[in-house]
Amino acid sequence: MSLDARLPLFPVTASVIAGPAGAELAIGGLSLRALAEQFGTPLYIYDQATMDDAVAAYRRSLAAHYAGESGITLAGKAFLCVAAAQWAQRQNLWLDCTGRGELHIAAAAQVERARILVHGVNKSAADLAAAVRQAGVIVVDNLTEITRLADLLDAAPPDARPDLWLRVRPGVAVDTHAYRQTGQEDSKFGMDAGEITQAVRLCLLRGLPLTGLHFHQGSHFHDPAPIGPALERVLDLAEEVQSETGWLPAALCPGGGWGVAYHEDDLPQPSIDEYVAFIAAYLTEGCRQRGLPLPRLQLEPGRSLVARAGVAVYAVGAVKRTPQRRWLLIDGGLADNPRPALYGARYSALPVRLPARPPVDRASLAGPYCESGDILIEELPLPNLTPGELIAIPASGAYHLSMGSNYNGALRPAVVWLHRGEAHLIQRREELDDLIARDIALP
């Protein structure tokens, strides 16, 4: 039955409750129908309990498997707004910001400097200046950036200088879509072994606060095995650099990227413990073999903290049949979730009303935008849904809204945060005037 098969894709608080017209889907005890009536559709919902659970799973695993100091950074690129940054701060997470835009959001949420880590390939002068002003750690992507940073750091007060970590390109990617791989030899991200050695020398020469190494091999993978050879290379590099320069990284970050289940075929949910245990064991053994002290292990997950917490609720506008398909035309799509169009991401869904209804046949969910690729779901077994009904797509919390657009004048959806049985609006729905707020009419 699709309800039992699909409910584990939804937030941990998902349930079926009694509604005025029969059973209906609820998150955190709150009816999705009632939330859609109150806030409109398309509507994004984040369930804090699910995010808290994911953090607790990371913490438990780090405590169980790693003897050194450790920490967790939320990769803000997965989903960032003031409320998400506040949640990260309250959970004692660090926050990864890419560029001054995300730093601005972190500042609005009053995230402490010590918890802000800045990423970015080709950071602009404004990005670097903001990072030096606001961050606790800057992850340096390339040699040119070091020279620019050295000048900025020389001018910064000595007690307000962020630490620098170097981004290594390990030459090994994880098994994921090519557009989500970042660790391979020809990736645009990071530095190779020779450049890292040069970077360390440059930092030491300029007296820069260099404290760590970082690598990230890609996003949304289910097999941690490729992290092993990457860690070996990074530890070999650390050993070489130490013998040449005397410098040793106090912190090491193998990035994030652990996957989640988007479709019932992906279940059970990938185990956070399996991922953390793999890294911890490899790192511990690698350090032991080389006689290196255990570095601070900083993990940097995005998707595995926030994806499952998010649910997108859409209204079916029309139902259309072609000889090949049943189309459910819904009121959102490509503009709030570009992932299916970008990398063929595969999703599942449940009707909000009577979610246990058995499927009648397959249906495809398409959005209202002028692109044939605006299809969120292809050929999913679903019951009959009629215009006006609501449909909920699970695992919608990561890389939807942060990659969304105003294509075709789409208004970005409202976002609601659920916590302890209450719903808080954390982002209002865009209004028509938002679409022209930056425009200047010709004279």
Contacting residues toward ligand PLP, per CB under 6 A:
75, 77-78, 119, 182, 216, 219-220, 255-258, 300-304, 398
The residue of the chain with the least Cβ separation from ligand PLP equals 302
Tokens describing residue 441: 């009419």
Contacts of 127 (CB under 8 A, 6+ apart): 99, 100, 103, 118, 120
d(CA 309, CA 11): 5
Q: Are strands 361-366 and 326-330 parallel, antiparallel or unpaired?
A: parallel
Shortest approach of ligand PLP to residue 260 CB, angstroms? 9
417: nearest Cα among 397, 403, 437, 392: 397
Shortest approach of ligand PLP to residue 65 CB, angstroms? 19
Our CB check for ligand PLP shows the closer of 118 and 380 to be: 118
Shortest approach of ligand PLP to residue 97 CB, angstroms? 11
Q: From the candidates 81, 97, 287, 370, which is the catalytic residue?
A: 370
CA 150-155-156 angle, 5° bins: 95
Our CB check for ligand PLP shows the closer of 10 and 258 to be: 258
DSSP designation for 309: T
Give 223's Cβ-side CA count (13 Å radius).
7
Query: Catalytic: 370?
Result: yes
Shortest approach of ligand PLP to residue 130 CB, angstroms? 18
Q: Distance from CA of residue 157 to its chain's centroid?
A: 33
Our CB check for ligand PLP shows the closer of 113 and 222 to be: 222
The CA-based diameter of the chain, rounded to the nearest angstrom, is 72
Cis peptide before 42 (omega within 30 of 0): yes
d(CA 154, CA 149): 8
Our CB check for ligand PLP shows the closer of 99 and 302 to be: 302
330: nearest Cα among 361, 374, 371: 374
Our CB check for ligand PLP shows the closer of 263 and 303 to be: 303
Shortest approach of ligand PLP to residue 317 CB, angstroms? 31
Provide the annotated active-site residues: 370
